[in-house]
């Protein structure tokens, strides 16, 4: 049985860190559009950030955007009680996999190369 509350804490902690990292990278950018984006993000609820940055940022931000998406998706699954189930075959995901990465979406049969 998966301790969803424990994972929720981990996910929320990492989500806050990932948002900080995004802000930091944007403010350190040489691109003035990114500085304007930092100001825009500060005016919005962090839940809207992905939507705001997705269209404006290039491939150099793909890793952090992907991570934010994964974290938010996993938190959403905890909210609706679907956390820890494979999104392909709907079997329970091995808890060991979720310890390695709490945002894992698939079981070891559906995604063996992890
Ligand atoms: Zn599966």
Q: Ligand 1 center to residue 32 CA distance, Å?
A: 44
Residues 101, 105: Cα–Cα separation, whole Å? 10
Q: What is the pLDDT along the chain (114 residues), one digit of tens a residue?
A: 678 899 999 999 999 999 999 999 999 999 999 999 999 999 999 999 999 998 889 899 999 999 999 999 999 999 999 999 999 999 999 999 999 999 999 999 999 876
pTM: 0.91
Q: Ligand 1 center to residue 105 CA distance, Å?
A: 9
Q: Ligand 1 center to residue 87 CA distance, Å?
A: 7
Q: Ligand 1 center to residue 9 CA distance, Å?
A: 24
Residues 71, 101: Cα–Cα separation, whole Å? 10
> CB-based burial of residue 60 (10 Å sphere; 0-12 exposed, 13-18 middle, 19+ buried)?
exposed
Q: Ligand 1 center to residue 99 CA distance, Å?
A: 17
């Amino acid at each position: 049985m998966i301790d969803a509350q424990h994972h929720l804490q981990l996910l929320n902690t990492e989500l806050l860190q990932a948002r900080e990292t995004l802000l930091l990278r944007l403010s350190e950018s040489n691109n003035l559009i990114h500085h304007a984006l930092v100001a825009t993000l500060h005016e919005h609820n962090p839940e809207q950030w992905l939507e705001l940055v997705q269209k404006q940022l290039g491939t150099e931000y793909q890793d952090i955007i992907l991570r934010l998406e994964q974290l938010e998706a996993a938190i959403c699954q905890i909210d609706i009680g679907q956390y820890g189930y494979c999104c392909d075959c709907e079997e329970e995901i091995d808890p060991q996999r979720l310890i390695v990465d709490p945002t894992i979406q698939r079981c070891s049969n559906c995604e063996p190369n992890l």
